[in-house]
């Protein structure tokens, strides 16, 4: 079993287990202005709805902030999607090949945007604490395994009908 230092997360979409890896340093550097602008907009103290409903509104906020700044939100959205894998029929599949309902994916993607804008702008020394808090808010599970080791653990836990608790369902609304 391979344990990593990355703060990967797991959750469910439509009953399917999902694994998400954090944004790489290179992707962060390519998108930091949009990430920072989205976080600032979500936590704008004059608009309390964004703070309260941040996980549900993060994707729309990201798109709005990109449009305001004439930036490309699709690059970051594509990268977040690429970093997300769905466990189905014993394999890890990209979201596009998983058969997940598009509306459920948009809700989950919005939560991933919320997670990312908070996690990516946190100092390395504070990330472990921050990721635990974000997982608690979003109903995600913190994973320190590689995607393959995580999938292997899923296969093992379901073969014998284990009572292992599954990751929390999709996204709070």
Summarised one tens digit per residue, pLDDT across range 18-56 is 999 999 999 999 999 999 999 999 887 676 665 568 899
Lowest mean pLDDT among 46-50, 62-66, 83-87: 46-50
Total-model pTM:
0.83
Domain boundaries along the sequence of the chain: 3-159
pLDDT at 1: 38
Q: How confident is the model at residue 128 (pLDDT cuts 50, 70, 90)?
A: confident
Q: Please, which pLDDT band fits residue 173 given cuts at 50, 70 and 90?
A: very low
Q: What pLDDT score was predicted for residue 59?
A: 97
If one counts every other C-beta atom within 10 angstroms of the C-beta of residue 169, the result is 14
**Is residue 169 predicted with pLDDT exceeding 70?**
no
CB 153 within 8 A of CB 17: no
pLDDT > 50? residue 166: no
| Contact criterion met (CB below 8 Å) for 40 and 62 | no
> d(Cα 115, Cα 135) in Å, to the nearest integer?
8
What Rg value do the Cα atoms of the chain yield, rounded?
16
What are the residues whose beta carbons fall under 8 Å from the beta carbon of 106, sequence distance 6 or more? 59
Instruction: Tell which wins on pLDDT, 45 or 159.
Output: 45
> Alpha-carbon distance 80 to 111, whole Å?
11
Per-residue pLDDT at 124: 87
């Amino acid at each position: 079993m391979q344990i990593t230092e990355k703060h990967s997360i797991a959750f469910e979409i439509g009953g399917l287990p999902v694994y998400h890896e954090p944004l790489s340093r290179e992707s962060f550097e390519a998108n930091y202005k949009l990430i920072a602008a989205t976080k600032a907009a979500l936590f704008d103290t004059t608009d309390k709805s964004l703070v309260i409903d941040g996980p549900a509104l993060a994707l729309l906020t990201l798109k709005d902030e990109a449009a305001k700044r004439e930036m490309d939100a699709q690059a970051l959205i594509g990268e977040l999607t690429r970093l997300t894998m769905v466990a189905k029929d014993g394999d890890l599949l990209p979201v596009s090949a998983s058969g997940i309902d598009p509306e459920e994916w948009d809700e989950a993607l919005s939560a991933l945007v919320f997670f990312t804008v908070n996690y990516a702008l946190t100092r390395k020394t504070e990330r472990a604490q921050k990721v635990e808090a974000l997982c608690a808010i979003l109903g995600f599970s913190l994973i320190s395994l590689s995607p393959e080791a995580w999938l292997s653990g899923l296969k093992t836990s379901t073969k014998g009908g284990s009572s292992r608790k599954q990751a929390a369902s999709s996204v709070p609304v």
